[in-house]
Every structure is written in structure tokens, then in C-alpha cells.
Amino acid sequence: MNIRKITALILTAAVTASLLAGCKKGAETSEESTEPVVTETSETTAETSETTTETSVEITYTADDLRKAGVNELNSVPILMYHRIYNMKNSETKYTGGNVDKDGYNRTSEAFENDLRSFYEQGYRMMRLDDFVDGNIDVAFGYSPLILTFDDGINDVVLEGWNADGSPKFEAGCAIDVLEKIKKEFPDYNVTATFFLNCGLFHNSKEDDHKVIKWLVDNGYDIGNHTYNHVQIGGKSPDEIEKEVGRMYKLLDEIIPGRYVDIIALPYGSPESSASKPEYEKIFKGSYEGFSYTTKATLLCAWTRSYSPFVRDYDSTAIRRIRAYDNKGVYWDIEMNFKQLNDGRRYISDGNPNTIVFPSSDNSKGDWLKNTFGHQVITYDK
């Protein structure tokens, strides 16, 4: 698509001031300046004219604003991989920093809550994984996207019962309990997560799980596929893969027809590149007992930040995640990953999901930006 320099600059302080106010709603610390804002209206081009009515883009910043905020939408995004959250204090485990097992797959509620508070303070805001895969990144100006995922369903949504109004009562300290608490405290955090489930769902009663899964998708969370029996896909035959993947999609479709995400978190992160071998095609397309499915993305098990979906090295069949654990800042734990992200590698948003904005030097050879998802591209000189 077109890489174009900022052109027509029109001062419309009144309009843009209100837009920015809406954009920053609820933010506790707003250090962006309140100086007059420049609006750029971009004329449409011939080759995009059929879509311009719906993707017409209003720009509410200057190149100087972009430089100051370090806007860069070709940089990386943290997609965190959690498993079980236990209602425990960090002091109650014998492992480092709130890990509940030696490898840190499972964590205390104290550590999880501290993670969420820390990411918020560092300027991260949550978004749906499904939107990320679609290249639809809607995060306020100057902030960075953050994506949460949970694998296996165990201890993530533990039900104590149901309130009189039909809402679920969660056990204290399970993942959803902490998420809902943080959601109330920080309305502009956009709290959301994707839960990747096996046939055991959340391990409550079947009836409760079906009800709570409906509640989750009604309340801003997503449900994805982690295979029916939690199998390692690498090495399986196409028939076995089709059964494991298709049977799980079919189960989800019976509970929440058409409302799950067609994304798979690969158990054990295998295979590492799903598109690499023909026998893996059943991960992406197939049918089980007459139920047809397609998969649009697969997630690896974890070590590091994900590429932006707009760049050359991003692979939607092998999306990287960060293992959400504490290891004293080494071996790709949260601290190490966020240190690297915050050291000039993090995606910083321009606040507009319909544009891709970055310093021109970041695509100087012209081959780093690969997929624009039809968005307008804007560059600036650093």
C-alpha cells in the first residue's frame, strides 16, 4: 500500500482536543502536552477509493508528537502465557517471585496481580488476541498493546456459585477473580484475556462451565482451542490432528456457536512452525463429524515478545509468547522480556487502528513492513 508523508495540515484544535480527551479517558497520569493539536486530513487515493468511506482516517497529531511519544507500530508486542493462578501469597511458595512450581508455569494471585499493576504503570494497555491477529490494534496514543493468554483452563475460572442476578461468583484469587478486580480499578486498562481450553474446559461442572463460558464471551473475554486432549501435535498423523483440533472446535461451537476464536495455542508449543509441513494442514482446515473448521493463527509455547503483525518476520502460524514467570531477570522471564521491550523495542500506538505509523528509518530498505491489512501507512523522521 501507499507510504505517504504527512501532507495537508489543518489546525482544528477544538475538534481534536475533544478527540484526545476521549482517547485518554480515565488515564491517571497524562504527561502528554496540552499544546495546540494539528489535524491532518489525508486525501484519498485512486486504488483505495472503494474502501475510503469506512477507513477515512483523521489524524490528531504532529510529527513532533510522534517523536516525543516514540510511536512505532512495527515494534514488538508482549503476548503473555499464563497457566494456573493460585490464591496464595508469594511468601507461601518455596520458589522465586510467586512461582508455584519450579518452572513458573503456575503463579500466585499476588504475583499475577502485581504483574498486571506493573504492566499498567509501564504504559501497557490490554487488547484482544483475536484483534491482534486481524491487524486491528486499537490502543490509545502513546500506549503499548499487551495481550494475556491462559492455557489449560485449570484454576483460571473457579466457580463458587451464581449470584441472584445470574452473574457468576468466582473463587477468590483465581485468574478471572483477579482480572475482574483490576478491570474495576482501571477502566482504561481494557482488561481482557483469551482462555485456551481442552475438553475439560474450566474443570467446574459441565453445566457451570457452559454457563460461565457464555458469561465470559458476553463480558469481553475470548475462548480458544488448545486441542481436545492436550496432545503434542508434532509427530501426529493428519487424521489424529484433525480429530484433536476439530473435536475441540465442535465442542466450543456447541457451547458458544460462532463466538470462540479460531486460534489454537499449540500444547507444548509444537510444531514450532505449523505451516512448514504438509501434514500440519489439518491444524488449519478440516472437519470432525460433519463440523468444518478453519484456524487463522497458532501460538507457540513461550519465550519472547511477538513481532508486530505488520512486519516481515511475523508468522501467524507461529506466534511467539512470553512465559509469564519470574526467574530473577534471566532466561526470558517477565522482567527480562519487559526490560528489552522498554529498551526501544516496544510497539507504541498512534491511537488509531486504521493507520500504521513508524519512523521512516525503521523501514529504510523497504522490506520490513509486509502486511498493512489495508491500513494507511504514515512515516515520520525520527
Residues lying near Zn ion in the complex (CB under 5 A) are found at 151-152, 267
Minimum distance, C-beta of residue 217 to Zn ion, in the bound complex (Å): 21
Q: Going by DSSP bridges, is the β-strand pair 194-197/168-170 parallel, antiparallel, or unpaired?
A: unpaired
Q: Judged by CB, which is closer to Zn ion: 152, or 350?
A: 152
Minimum distance, C-beta of residue 291 to Zn ion, in the bound complex (Å): 23
**Residue 90 has which C-alpha cell?**
508469594
Q: Judged by CB, which is closer to Zn ion: 142, or 267?
A: 267
Q: Judged by CB, which is closer to Zn ion: 178, or 300?
A: 300
Q: Going by DSSP bridges, is the β-strand pair 159-162/168-170 parallel, antiparallel, or unpaired?
A: antiparallel
Minimum distance, C-beta of residue 152 to Zn ion, in the bound complex (Å): 4
**Residue, CB closest to Zn ion:** 151
Q: Check if the beta carbon of residue 283 is closer than 8 Å to that of residue 246.
A: no
Closest-CA residue to 37 (of 69, 62, 72): 62
Minimum distance, C-beta of residue 265 to Zn ion, in the bound complex (Å): 7
Minimum distance, C-beta of residue 64 to Zn ion, in the bound complex (Å): 46
Sequence-distant contacts of 275-280: CB under 8 A, at least 24 apart: 275/315, 275/317, 275/318, 279/237, 279/238, 279/241, 280/233, 280/241
Sheet holding 9-11, edge to edge: 9-11, 38-41, 58-59
Q: Judged by CB, which is closer to Zn ion: 247, or 346?
A: 247
Minimum distance, C-beta of residue 196 to Zn ion, in the bound complex (Å): 7
294 in helix, strand or coil?
strand
Minimum distance, C-beta of residue 296 to Zn ion, in the bound complex (Å): 20
In angstroms, the CA 141 to CA 350 distance is 4
Q: Judged by CB, which is closer to Zn ion: 113, or 151?
A: 151
Q: Judged by CB, which is closer to Zn ion: 106, or 337?
A: 106
Task: Evaluate the omega torsion of the peptide bond into residue 271 and state whether it is cis, within 30 degrees of 0.
Answer: yes
Q: Judged by CB, which is closer to Zn ion: 142, or 269?
A: 269
**Residue 257 has which C-alpha cell?**
456457536
H or E stretch covering 116: helix 109-121
In angstroms, the CA 120 to CA 189 distance is 7
